[in-house]
């Protein structure tokens, strides 16, 4: 699967992925089972090629902070 995914409980990853310019496409419910038995959902994000240049600039600026 291409794009980005993050555990639905991981708020920091969710914010970071949105900050670089990806769009949330949806949630895959019951996507996986963690070692402790927790059944997790995954948030799915995408970015199309025409959005990449702007996202790359935002990402580089964030790294320079």
Asked whether 62 and 29 are in contact (CB, 8 A), the reply is: no
Q: What is the CATH number of the domain that holds 45?
A: 3.40.630.30
Binned at pLDDT 50, 70 and 90, residue 31 comes out as: very high
Report the alpha-carbon distance of residue 45 to residue 55 in Å, rounded: 13
Our count of domains for the chain comes to 1
pLDDT at residue 3, as a whole number: 87
Residue partners of 32: CB distance under 8 A and separation at least 6: 39, 40, 42
Q: Domain limits at 24?
A: 4-64
- What's the rounded mean pLDDT across residues 18-42? 94
């Amino acid at each position: 699967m291409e794009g980005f995914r993050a555990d639905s409980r991981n708020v920091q990853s969710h914010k970071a992925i949105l900050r670089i310019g990806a769009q949330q496409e949806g949630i895959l419910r019951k996507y996986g089972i963690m070692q402790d038995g927790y059944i997790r959902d995954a948030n799915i994000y995408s970015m199309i090629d025409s959005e990449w240049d702007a996202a790359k600039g935002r990402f580089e600026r964030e790294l320079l902070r």
